[in-house]
Amino acid sequence: MARTLILGGTTEASRLARALAERGRDAVFSYAGRTNNPVAQPLPTRVGGFGGMEGLVAYLRQEAITHVVDATHPFAAQMSRNAVAACAAAGVDLCALERPAWRAMDGDTWQSVASIEQAVAALPDRPKRVFLAIGKQNLSEFAAVPQHHYLLRLVDPPLGDLPLPDTSVVIARGPFDTAQDTALLQSHKIDLIIAKNAGGRGAEAKILAARALKLPVIMINRPQVPERLVFGEVDQVLGWLGH
């Protein structure tokens, strides 16, 4: 009997979970546990790390998983690497459900960088008002350039002090709307945006808003993950699963 593990976190992972639940398929949904109240799923759900590659191998065996769909955020590269290695070791079929990266269009002012460190280095010396749209991890790396004002958008209110001296914090969960993101950038008088190239629709509003307002974007490219079977659409994953 087929039993699928969805490694989640993305809007696409939730869409796949809905499709499998509607078809009455045997599947488990896994969250990293990065947010306080993750979106409820129509499948049995587990939360938290597996304990590295070995932990994932043990989980796959214990739960008799036959298929893994890696529908994690494109920057959750450690999880994706572990999934490739663990599925190979356990003899479990693996595919990724991955949304295409965003692409610059004519008129965009994007500076593409390979890492958070390069994004920090790409900031100008003069103080700017920056929409630092990278979530809550990696904020401390921007403490090296404290002269800027940082607008942060976080899913949960921060616990304790932020590592940056001059911030505005907006608590919100995607998907976001372009008109609202345009208004957000204007009301905070933002000069430039730093974003991870997550791709997909849910987080694209800020990129479309930056385009409309002709604001520069420092775009952090996706980390490398080992080669695996990749689909862009939920329907393709359903076909691969034989549904």
Please answer whether residues 3 and 58 qualify as being in contact, where contact means their C-beta atoms are separated by less than 8 angstroms: no
Q: Does 199 bind ligand NAP (CB under 6 A)?
A: no
Q: Does 79 bind ligand NAP (CB under 6 A)?
A: yes
Q: Does 78 bind ligand NAP (CB under 6 A)?
A: yes
- Eight-state DSSP code of residue 202: T
What length does the chain have?
243
Residue least distant from ligand NAP (Cβ): 49
Sheet holding 230-231, edge to edge: 45-47, 27-31, 4-7, 67-70, 93-97, 230-231
Q: Does 7 bind ligand NAP (CB under 6 A)?
A: yes
Nearest to 84 by CA among 191, 224, 241, 198: 224
Q: Does 72 bind ligand NAP (CB under 6 A)?
A: yes
* 3-state DSSP percent of the chain in helix, strand and coil, to 5: 30, 20, 45
User: Which residues in 28-67 contact ligand NAP (CB under 6 A)?
Assistant: 30-32, 34, 49-52, 55-56
Q: Does 224 bind ligand NAP (CB under 6 A)?
A: no
Binding residues with ligand NAP: total (CB under 6 A): 25
- The residues binding ligand NAP (CB under 6 A) are 7-9, 30-32, 34, 49-52, 55-56, 72-73, 75-79, 82, 135, 137-138, 196
